[in-house]
Structure formats: C-alpha cells, structure tokens
C-alpha cells in the first residue's frame, strides 16, 4: 500500500477547508510532521475535528488507522506529528490453532 497517496489526499482535503490557509508536510528523522497555517478565529478543538475528518476521507476504502498528535502552536501555525499505519492484528488463519485466531471472532 502506498502511503504517499494517502498523505496526498489528506493534505488536499485539509487545504480545501475554509479555516486553513496552507498545509505543509515535512519529515524529520523519518517521522512525518505537518504544519497548518490557519485563520486567527479557529480554535484547537475545531482544528482536531478538521484533521480527523480529512484523515477519515483519506483512509476511505483502506484498512488503515491514523494517529495525529498535537505538538505545538506558534501564532497561527499548528504543528502536528502524524502517521497512517496498518493495524497490527491477524487478518487470516495460519492453521496453527492459535488462541487469538481470527476464526474465533464474532
């Protein structure tokens, strides 16, 4: 699965939001960070909802999870550490009669 495509959709969805002026993604030490330049009147809770909405739209139709963690805010720039990842769970039966086999889920 190409996560770059998911990131591209995520950033495009965020840039289309009314309260956001620009979105910039960088990677430092292999960890993706994104910088959101916003209008003055937007609050942190609204920002969280916009990010969550864009992440859900970017992951639609894929088995992914997202983790977007607030790092800091300077003037009208929010900094978040974010990642999209595949869940760490068994998705098939291996035939070894494991105690957490997917066959036993309801």
Q: Does the reported pTM lie above 0.85?
A: no
- CA 76, CA 40: separation in Å to the nearest integer? 6
Residue 21 in tokens:
């002026």
- pLDDT tens across 1-35, in order? 678 899 999 999 999 988 889 999 999 998 999 99
- CA 28, CA 32: separation in Å to the nearest integer? 7
User: Of 1-10, 19-28, 38-47, 90-99, where does the model show the most confidence?
Assistant: 19-28
In eight-state DSSP terms, residue 92 is S
- pLDDT tens across 65-78, in order? 999 999 999 888 99
> Which pLDDT score is estimated for 103?
80
Alpha-carbon separation of residue 34 from 37, 41, 55 (angstroms): 10, 20, 13
Asked if 37 contacts 47 with a C-beta cutoff of 8 angstroms, the reply is: no
Alpha-carbon separation of residue 29 from 15, 26, 32, 33 (angstroms): 25, 10, 8, 10
- Of 48, 47, 46, 66, nearest to 56 by C-alpha is 66
């Amino acid at each position: 699965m190409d996560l770059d495509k998911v990131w591209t959709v995520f950033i495009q969805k965020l840039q289309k939001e009314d309260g956001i002026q620009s979105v910039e993604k960088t990677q430092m030490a292999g960890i993706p960070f994104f910088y959101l330049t916003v209008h003055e009147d937007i609050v942190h809770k609204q920002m969280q909802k916009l990010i969550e909405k864009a992440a859900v739209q970017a992951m639609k139709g894929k088995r992914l999870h997202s983790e977007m963690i607030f790092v800091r805010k300077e003037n009208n720039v929010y900094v978040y550490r974010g990642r999209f990842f595949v869940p760490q769970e068994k998705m098939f039966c291996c035939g070894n009669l494991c105690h957490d086999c997917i066959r036993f889920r309801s």
